[in-house]
Structure 1
Amino acid sequence: MQDGVLTHAQLVAAGLTRADLARMQRRNELRRVHPRVYVDHTGPLNWHQRAWAAVLYAAPAYLYGPSAEPPRTEQLARPGFVPGPIHVAIDQSRRVKTQPGIVIHRITNLESHAYGGTPPRLRLEDNALAMAHEARSDIDTVASLANVVGRSYVTPDSLRAALHRFPSLRRRAWIATIIDDLESGTHSVLEHGYLTKVERAHGLPQSDRQVPRISPSGSQFRDVEYEAYGLVVELDGALGHDTWRDQARDADRALDDLAATGAVTARLRWHQVYDSPCRTALSLVRILRSRGWAGRPVACSDSCPIGAEP
């Protein structure tokens, strides 16, 4: 079950003496991986053996972050692929000395977030929120959720239950709103981000939002519309991987708008709004100007590219 990785305590419990262990190491039947952790061969360790060695060394510990799931088979088979260190979580109250190839994370009330597994790991939802807590930016927080949303057993309710297990989570209220959006199918967090980070921060003309429209596919709403300039902005707040059906639906809506009103549609996702709002605003400024807008945009900072726009 442990892929040939054993602890000193397990070997002793099996009846081996110190002399037995020394003899087995001389015969290359055992090799020390970390203090008091061994493997039953002398060749390179595969990913699962490295994961077991890390978890057993820091026990009680659980795989965490990028190590909570093993690399995909195609990744491991890729020439030149170098697996990263193994990340494990221990309880906040403990201290464990770091070893080469192991990154230690400390989490409050660890056992409440843990899932058994082989090797043991955090629950997917709890792992996503733990990574969100450590995220340096909003877009990294969104990415941690996107990595688990769409799994058949990850739901808004299971994410909300995990959220309750993190009472001190950084950006907690904001993450709760994203989970609410996932459940309702709305994009309020992304819409607010567009309004504050792209439109208002860069002096774009005031848009109309949630504009009703009638199309061949039925009654719908445009997320953002600049009616005077024939520009529609659709905000795609979906997390997880888009399917070809989603892409086909989006293409149909853009085509309907173009046929009915001559409006062009810019489809923005989390990255454009939260990770590169200045670049997004610059592109929209150029579209708006090509369609008759004579206003002057505003640079939101000294480094904003709009400041160099004539």
Structure 2
Amino acid sequence: MADPAVTPDPALTLIASMLAQQEGVISRCQAHACGLTDNDLRRLRRRRLLTSVHTGIYVDHTGPRTWDQRAWAAVLAYWPAALAGESARRAVAGTRRTGRGDDDAIHLVVDRHRHLYPDEGIVIRRSAHLRNSCLWNTSPPRQRIEYVALELAATAQSDVDAVAHLADALGARITTPERLAAALAHRERFARRAFLTGIIDDLCAGTCSTLEHGYFTRVERAHRLPPAKRQFRESLKGSLYRDVYYEDQALLVELDGRLDHSSTRDRDRDHERDLDAAATDRLTLRLGWGQVFDRSCATAMRIAAGLQARGWNGSPRRCPACPASLAVPLRG
């Protein structure tokens, strides 16, 4: 943008530098700080060198706006504000990693005492931890990734999706279990708090006890499967521990609680196929978060069928959460 008739060269230089830093977006307050007047801004708009985006927010072209420009415009329009949730995640990971489009809503976080009525395409939530939960020196400012991961996990449709959000952050090496734990400790009221605390504690300790305990309570005990040996030690190829071993039926259950950024959901589908193979007299079942926490009843019935195929004379029972349509394998 260059218009010597409007403003002196030093102001032009400041404006050009700010536009370059902010994807071509600038606020009225910033323009004033650079030396422009309201008359200057009106003149620039008439000459189509600036276009209004929100009240007091301008972009330096007249064409379609990119997602980055929409993000900057939203942050400046509701300043002090920062990108939150999916928008903060996209700012870190980029379009390819999130699969989001340029027309998606911009999510912002502001101080809890503010009452705002956002424009269309902007979603605002309030936070009591705005100052400490955001990175104000990023472009544009955004929530810290550990807060983003926790909030996406808390609002996920299922427990396995919640785990996947933590996996995304950890697998991309943009946060650590310790930072997740510290961020969660600052939030007094939080959905899925106990579940997420257990997972993060396990990650900090390098274990998967949350998944193991979930299998015992939600799958085995709730559906009255036969008792199994746990952390069973065998030494066929050196010292090796098996998670769950139904010795009489020669059936092993391995609980895979790894959080791998690139394949969390793909492995979940693989575990489903492993379960389907149980009724065809295979030896080992490998379960993940989805089988234990999202589909524990269906998991129990398929494991029961596998145990029966190997000689178990019992039958599983329904738990209060079992859907009426779920078939219970009966010993013939």
TM-score in terms of structure 2 length: 0.78
In the alignment, is residue 62 of structure 1 matched against residue 82 of structure 2?
A: yes
Q: Secondary structure at the match of 1:225?
A: strand
Q: Which stretch shifts more, 58-67 or 202-211?
A: 202-211
How far apart, in 2, do the equivalents of 1:74 and 1:128 lie? 18
Deviation at 1:305, TM superposition (A): 4.4
**Partner residue of 1:106?**
126
- Cα 1:103–1:81 change in 2 (3 A) is closer
- Cα 1:263–1:186 change in 2 (3 A) is farther
Whether the 8 Å CA contact 1:65–1:130 is kept in 2: the answer is yes
Deviation at 1:135, TM superposition (A): 4.0
Query: Which structure would you say has the larger Rg?
Result: 2
**Partner residue of 1:250?**
none
**Partner residue of 2:199?**
178
Dislocated runs of 4+, deviation >6 Å: none
Whether the 8 Å CA contact 2:95–2:101 is kept in 1: the answer is no
Letter in 2 for 1:33: V
Whether the 8 Å CA contact 2:171–2:262 is kept in 1: the answer is no
**Partner residue of 1:16?**
36
Q: Which stretch shifts more, 271-280 or 132-141?
A: 132-141
Q: Secondary structure at the match of 1:205?
A: coil
What are the superposed Cα offsets for residues 142-193 of structure 1, whole Å, 9 maximum, x if unpaired?
2331221134352222222222322333333432322221122211111111
**Partner residue of 2:293?**
274
How far apart, in 2, do the equivalents of 1:145 and 1:178 lie? 9
Matches within 5 A, 1:188-227: 188-216=209-237, 218-227=238-247
How far apart, in 1, do the equivalents of 2:322 and 2:192 lie? 27
How far apart, in 2, do the equivalents of 1:8 and 1:62 lie? 18
- Cα 1:185–1:202 change in 2 (3 A) is same
Matches within 5 A, 1:1-310: 1-70=21-90, 72-74=94-96, 81=101, 83-116=103-136, 117-135=138-156, 137-216=158-237, 218-241=238-261, 264-300=283-319, 301=321, 303-307=323-327, 309=329
- Cα 1:306–1:214 change in 2 (3 A) is farther
Whether the 8 Å CA contact 1:64–1:121 is kept in 2: the answer is yes
Q: Which stretch shifts more, 57-66 or 196-205?
A: 196-205
Deviation at 1:49, TM superposition (A): 0.8
**Partner residue of 1:258?**
none
Tell me how large the CA RMSD over aligned residues is: 2.7
Deviation at 1:263, TM superposition (A): 7.3
Q: Secondary structure at the match of 1:204?
A: coil
Letter in 2 for 1:201: A
Whether the 8 Å CA contact 1:226–1:232 is kept in 2: the answer is yes
What are the superposed Cα offsets for residues 103-125 of structure 1, whole Å, 9 maximum, x if unpaired?
11111121111113111111111
How far apart, in 2, do the equivalents of 1:268 and 1:133 lie? 23
Deviation at 1:2, TM superposition (A): 0.5
Q: Secondary structure at the match of 1:215?
A: coil
How far apart, in 1, do the equivalents of 2:316 and 2:42 lie? 74
How far apart, in 2, do the equivalents of 1:81 and 1:35 lie? 24
Deviation at 1:28, TM superposition (A): 2.0
TM-score in terms of structure 1 length: 0.84
**Partner residue of 2:14?**
none
Deviation at 1:290, TM superposition (A): 1.7
Deviation at 1:64, TM superposition (A): 0.9
Deviation at 1:127, TM superposition (A): 1.7
- Cα 1:221–1:263 change in 2 (3 A) is farther
**Partner residue of 1:251?**
none
How far apart, in 2, do the equivalents of 1:131 and 1:75 lie? 15
